[in-house]
Amino acid sequence: MGMGEIVAYIGAAAWLPQIATWLYRVAVRPKLRIIPEPTAEIGFTNYGPIFNLRMAFFVERRDLILDGIELIIRHESGEQRMFRWVAIGETFSQITDAFGNPQQTVARDQAAIAIKISTQSFVEKKVRFQEPRYHQADGVVMRTLVEHFNFLKQKNPATFVQEALASKQFYDAIEGRHAEFWWKPGHYTVGLKLSSPQSFTLTTERFAFTLPSVDVEHLKKNLPMIDADLRNSINSNLPECKPEPVVWVWSYAPLRGA
């Protein structure tokens, strides 16, 4: 064996620990499986389009930290929207009556920052999703309305509430929120997009649901509630204010594999 061959063998052997590390990392990469609840909660409020879903997370091989979950919801027409998690709900206990109807529930919501999933037990959470583009657009018109409201309050302390409710800025805010009502009848597919500081494999990626026309019309009943909710906020500056009732309605869509 010549000197050149010896050097080549030594060089190759130097790579063995690195190759072994790569192979180990691939072999023990977390494998995540997500099982959604059979029914999704769909809504539209002053927070815009909403998609709430209870999800069970299972991981194999190694523990996993998730720092982001997004849903790509695509209508059969081809239009799609991106929803991002904003809150995570957890139910600790529930008391029911003799007929199984819930009477008292102990639960908690927390900001969606990160969750840790252990190989020792699965994690079950109700994940609340909203649309970032709605909040971006709504934030612009709401800042304009607040600025105008503060101007009227300083200029006309006796009539600023009435003037604010009659202002163009108020109606721009209402129209802007109404324009973001996205739900329409038809078939939807939902794709999952997750992020983590770790490399992982996701085995559940898509599911689907259908919104019938009757459900969409049901959700449109929230549009007058958006008007009432914003009007209540402004009227709350009057001492004799009696807020209008605001009751949000929801649609519950059965899920299936896509």
- The architecture that CATH gives domain 29-131+184-210 is Sandwich (2.60)
Mean pLDDT of successive 10-residue segments in the chain (258 residues)?
Answer: 51 53 61 94 96 95 94 96 93 54 61 92 93 96 96 93 96 96 96 94 90 97 96 92 93 91
DSSP the chain: --HHHHHHHHHHHHHHHHHHHHHHHHHT--EEEEEE-SEEEEEEETTEEEEEEEEEEEEESS-EEE-EEEEEEEETTS-EEEEEEEEEEEEEEEEE-TTS-EEEEEEEEEE-S-EEEBTTB-EEEEEEEE-HHHHHHHHHHHHHHHHHHHHHHHH-TTTHHHHHHTSHHHHHHHHHHHHT----SEEEEEEEEEE-SS--EES--EEEEEE-HHHHHHHTTHHHHHHHHHHHHHHTTSTT--PPP-----EEEE-EE-
* Residue spans per domain, the chain: 29-131+184-210
pLDDT (0 to 100) of residue 214? 97
Write down the pLDDT at residue 151.
96
In this prediction, residue 7 carries a pLDDT of 45
Residue 55 pLDDT = 93
